[in-house]
Chains A and B, each alone.
Chain A
Amino acid sequence: MSSPKKITLRINGVNETLEAPAHRTLLEALRDLGHVEVKCGCEKGDCGACAVSIDGVAVDSCLTLAWMVEGREITTVSGLGDIENPHPLQKSFSDLGAIQCGYCTPGMIMASKSVIDRNPNPTDDDIRVGLSGNLCRCTGYTKIFEAVQDAASVMRGEGDKQ
């Protein structure tokens, strides 16, 4: 039987400590620490609602063990921006109607960021492939595609296309 240990996670630039057994997933750990912006939709890697980035790479936090990511840079959607100073993706998602119930949004934005980080000028097809691990039941994705394109153009310094 394994005993819990104290681990330190670096979340959105801040070190936070918690007691966790080996099987504690990053999703559980983040939510226990109050990072409830990270959502749980399936705990099986099927939905992407729990996506966060680790050292700049998007992963499903439900399939990641907390112990394995000690000392690494964990970013959640709240680490990208806030209501006053939103990240271009947060702004385009909210202005272009890409958010309905919003439950998929934190993961969807993290995956979208990963799409743009990998390719600042993504085609619609790149976006489709990049978001296929993020289920959304509300939007039909049409406005999400538009929001990602819009944010990408802002991030390229071209201003939004609206």
Chain B
Amino acid sequence: MSQQNISADAQPNVKYNQVGKSLTRTDAPGKAAGRTPYAGDYVMPGMLHMRVVRADIASAKLTRLDVTKARALPGVVCILTADDVAGREAATDIPGQTGQKRMDTDQQILVHERVKYYGEPIALIAAESRDVANAALELVEFDLEPIPGVYDPEEAMKPGSPIVQGIDNIVAEHKIRKGDPEKALAEADLVIENTFHTPFQEHAFLEPEVGLAWTDENEVVNIRVSTQVIEHFRAIADAIGVPHNKVRIRGALVGGGFGGKEDVTVEIYLALMAKATGRPVRLEYTREDSFVGHGKRHPFKLTYKTGVTRDGRITGMDVYILADSGAYVFLSPYVLLYGAVAAPGPYKVENLNVYAQAVATNNMFTSAFRGFGGMQACAAYEQQMDEVAKALDMDPIEFRRRNYLKTGEAISTGFVPPSAIWTEECVDKAWAALGEPTVSSDHIKIGQGIAAYQQSYGRLTFLHDTSECWVGVEMDGTVIVRSGVTDIGAGQISALGQIAVEVLGVTLENVVIYNSDSAVTPLAGTTTATRALYMTGNAAKMAAEAVRERLSERAAREFDVQVDQIHMAFNVVSVIDNPDKSMAFVDLVKICASEGIHRSELSMFRAPFSDYLNPETGQGQAHPDYVYGAQAIEVAVDTDTGEVEVLKSIAAHDIGQCINKAAVEGQIEGGTQNGQGYALSEEMLYEEGKLVTPSFSEYLMPTSMDMPKVQTILLESRSGLGPFGSKGIGEPALTPVAPAIANAVANAIGVRIFELPITPERIIKALKEKQAAN
């Protein structure tokens, strides 16, 4: 294991038996042995194979659709077109178990007449075999008459521009205002203005979207699917026109999500086809389907005006954010809101104006992606901090130090996060660990950079989020955890086990966790928004504590001591002051069983509920709480070729409290890869809305040869709202990576590239411009 990890304990005396350790995750051995069935690994007798026919022009009118030839192909069983789903739409708004009002963002299921983006589904094919389904795909004939489209959000806002959504293409707006930003900027010693561009990004989970659906003896449509959100069953039922209790989602361990399996993907197509054919149907996206079949990260354009005093204090800030929502709305309003709330970063800005707009275009629709708007904001505000420091001729860390938001101070929305704000600690530790820069040589220039961040965990509080978990003890002392939570690879379910065994004083080998069945496991909400540990972890802890309370009461009677004298750890129950008095956990359980003492509990955890933010000022509570941390990066830039090598990557995050240390480090290391790709190499290129990089040989995420060994520094303030004072790390892990790399590159070559990704090409161009200017 890496020894570099330093922890700054807030309460060094806290001792856990299971929590905080790098235990082998419950799901790992099965995955290593190839024994874990993923959604795509299930088959059923009589199963049909599906393919999706897609539009090959981004903005067009469907003038002819002829499926006769395809239908005539032997082995083709069913082809569905818009005519078969007349009058039905699919909801694309935030999935919820909360009953909050949804936005009006419904979308056609199959192209009826108007194609709005490249790859929009036109027809669904089901056939007896994959080969036949593939062949039928080529036999479906359709004509698309091009309609002028719009591919740039700024163009899309201009009068006379083609309309993609609503009356003016503007699908969302948010404002945040406090203090007197105009006055502050007018009176500032210095105002620095810069505009930053962030790109589309593909989630690139390794497991393409896949599912298997069938109708059971109760006329319930069952869907075994790779999803982050089993509670889409309601939206799916609405879309296919059945009551909510007639759709059951059975998840599986997910082969990566990152937000890309947060919206509905294959579910509605599967459900429609299972109903239409009465047979089990399977749909697996090809990689190219996946590239065009789910929403991407929103490209943002962010303009920052920062007013400062000569001695480096931010007096005011004005931020304009423009996001490309693509052809449909999906989660754009929420992503945009995250961006607006995060806009000033982890800094104290008393006079603030943020105006954010999301605009529809005929590009691929954009939606959830790890970091969810907050990371785009960070990509801009942390580069802006370096630019302002440069203008002030001040050390970038010193400039940050003068402006950090401190524990107990209010963020942009006026809300005071209830937990510790350890930005400064994280920055200092990460920077110190980076050490002295490697020496530059002839055409290799070395640079170092830092970025700090603020990222929420838990969903928007006006969504009134809840989560349930059930914990029970079997008669042989083994433990069962049941919760609807989906596990997208971060160890979500293993963490629930680790929490339950900590509380119950047993060991992780003795736990089995059942998850992600919308009909059977208690509904736990989504695995999104860095909420699974916070929400479901708390529910698991509450349930385990309730069971423990009853067991320890009985043990106290057995030993004739007070309840608070009972200690439970490693399958043994003992008396704290008299450890000789003890018994095996299983014996206590047997006593409880024979006396009818309830050995299980179903608990619901509720996040703080709030109203919607003030629409004019954006003031109020947006999220339950925030995570703070930093990334430090060293790069080598080849000035002949523009190639960038990341030499050192150091992450310091206050995660509140580790549940599984290796899993936390894993999130951070993986987030670093994702952020490094975003900063340097991942590029989705579109021509008139058509994706021209739809494969992993064109869309380039970092390989093993591109990644440095990531060094992680974990700080534990134990101040979070999650179980044992934990916060969350899923999204925060990624947030500061790209701006830290951008700052390191700017430091290396002495010129900033304001658009991500920082490709070799852009570096050469910037160097040439710099040379010409000198």
A–B interface present (Cβ within 8 A): yes
Question: What's the nearest-Cβ distance from chain A to residue B653, in Å?
Answer: 14
Quick check: is B256 within 8 A (CB to CB) of the other chain?
A: yes
Which residues on A sit within 8 Å (CB–CB) of B207?
39, 41, 101, 103
Question: What's the nearest-Cβ distance from chain B to residue A69, in Å?
Answer: 19
A contacts with B: majority SS: loop
Question: What's the nearest-Cβ distance from chain B to residue A62, in Å?
Answer: 10
Which residues on A sit within 8 Å (CB–CB) of B666?
97, 100, 138-140, 143
Question: What's the nearest-Cβ distance from chain A to residue B27, in Å?
Answer: 7
Q: How many A-B residue pairs have CB under 8 A?
A: 191
Closest A residue, CB atoms, query B668: A140
Determine if A100 and B701 form an interchain contact, defined as CB atoms under 8 angstroms apart. Answer: no
Closest A residue, CB atoms, query B487: A101
Quick check: is A47 within 8 A (CB to CB) of the other chain?
A: yes
Q: Give Cα A9–Cα B489 distance, bound, in whole angstroms.
A: 33
Quick check: is A42 within 8 A (CB to CB) of the other chain?
A: yes
Q: Which residues of A contact B (CB under 8 A)?
A: 21, 28, 36-44, 46-47, 49, 76-78, 81-83, 86, 89-91, 93-97, 99-106, 109, 124, 127-146, 162
A-B contact pairs, 27 of them (CB 8 A): A36-B37, A39-B207, A39-B255, A42-B287, A42-B696, A44-B695, A47-B206, A83-B30, A89-B32, A100-B489, A102-B27, A102-B31, A103-B256, A105-B31, A106-B34, A131-B703, A131-B704, A134-B704, A135-B206, A136-B673, A137-B673, A138-B670, A139-B673, A141-B669, A143-B666, A143-B669, A145-B704
Q: Which residues in chain B, 1-49, are within 8 Å of chain A measured between CB atoms?
A: 1-2, 22, 24-25, 27-38, 40-41
Closest B residue, CB atoms, query A41: B206
Given that A94-B24, A96-B662, A97-B666 are contacting pairs, would A141 and B287 also be in contact in the complex, using a CB cutoff of 8 Å? no
Closest 9 CB pairs between A and B?
A37-B34, A101-B489, A102-B31, A103-B255, A97-B662, A140-B669, A94-B28, A46-B696, A36-B41
Q: Give Cα A40–Cα B209 distance, bound, in whole angstroms.
A: 11
Quick check: is B488 within 8 A (CB to CB) of the other chain?
A: yes
Given that A97-B663, A128-B704 are contacting pairs, would A146 and B255 also be in contact in the complex, using a CB cutoff of 8 Å? no
Which residues on B sit within 8 Å (CB–CB) of A42?
287, 695-696
Interface centre among A93, A129, A142 (most CB of B within 10 A): A142
Q: Give Cα A55–Cα B534 distance, bound, in whole angstroms.
A: 48
Q: Give Cα A42–Cα B203 distance, bound, in whole angstroms.
A: 14
Contacting chain A: which of B101-109, B300-308, B375-383, B705-713?
B705-713
Quick check: is B573 within 8 A (CB to CB) of the other chain?
A: no
Q: Give Cα A28–Cα B49 distance, bound, in whole angstroms.
A: 14
Which residues on A sit within 8 Å (CB–CB) of B704?
127-132, 134, 141, 144-145
Which residues on A sit within 8 Å (CB–CB) of B37?
36
Q: Give Cα A130–Cα B206 distance, bound, in whole angstroms.
A: 19
Quick check: is B258 within 8 A (CB to CB) of the other chain?
A: yes
Determine if B206 and A97 form an interchain contact, defined as CB atoms under 8 angstroms apart. Answer: no
Quick check: is B774 within 8 A (CB to CB) of the other chain?
A: no
Which residues on A sit within 8 Å (CB–CB) of B671?
140
Which residues on B sit within 8 Å (CB–CB) of A37?
33-35
Given that A136-B206, A137-B673 are contacting pairs, would A101 and B488 also be in contact in the complex, using a CB cutoff of 8 Å? yes
Closest A residue, CB atoms, query B131: A21
Q: Which residues of B contact A (CB under 8 A)?
A: 1-2, 22, 24-25, 27-38, 40-41, 130-131, 203-208, 253-258, 284, 286-287, 488-491, 662-663, 665-666, 668-674, 695-697, 701, 703-705, 707, 709-710
Q: Give Cα A106–Cα B27 distance, bound, in whole angstroms.
A: 14
Determine if B206 and A143 form an interchain contact, defined as CB atoms under 8 angstroms apart. Answer: no
Q: Give Cα A138–Cα B733 distance, bound, in whole angstroms.
A: 11
Which residues on A sit within 8 Å (CB–CB) of B40?
36, 40
Closest A residue, CB atoms, query B207: A103
Determine if A140 and B673 form an interchain contact, defined as CB atoms under 8 angstroms apart. Answer: yes
Given that A44-B696, A46-B696, A99-B32 are contacting pairs, would A140 and B672 also be in contact in the complex, using a CB cutoff of 8 Å? yes
Q: Give Cα A129–Cα B36 distance, bound, in whole angstroms.
A: 28
Which listed residue, B28, B254, B491, B696, touches A93 by the CB 8 Å rule? B28
Closest B residue, CB atoms, query A49: B206
Which residues on B sit within 8 Å (CB–CB) of A99?
25, 27-28, 31-32
Determine if A105 and B32 form an interchain contact, defined as CB atoms under 8 angstroms apart. Answer: yes
Which residues on A sit within 8 Å (CB–CB) of B28?
93-95, 97, 99, 102
Given that A36-B37, A96-B662, A141-B704 are contacting pairs, would A103 and B205 also be in contact in the complex, using a CB cutoff of 8 Å? yes
Given that A102-B489, A135-B701 are contacting pairs, would A77 and B206 also be in contact in the complex, using a CB cutoff of 8 Å? no
Given that A90-B32, A91-B32, A101-B253 are contacting pairs, would A139 and B669 also be in contact in the complex, using a CB cutoff of 8 Å? yes
Determine if B31 and A141 form an interchain contact, defined as CB atoms under 8 angstroms apart. Answer: no
Determine if B669 and A82 form an interchain contact, defined as CB atoms under 8 angstroms apart. Answer: no
Which listed residue, B25, B29, B206, touches A103 by the CB 8 Å rule? B206
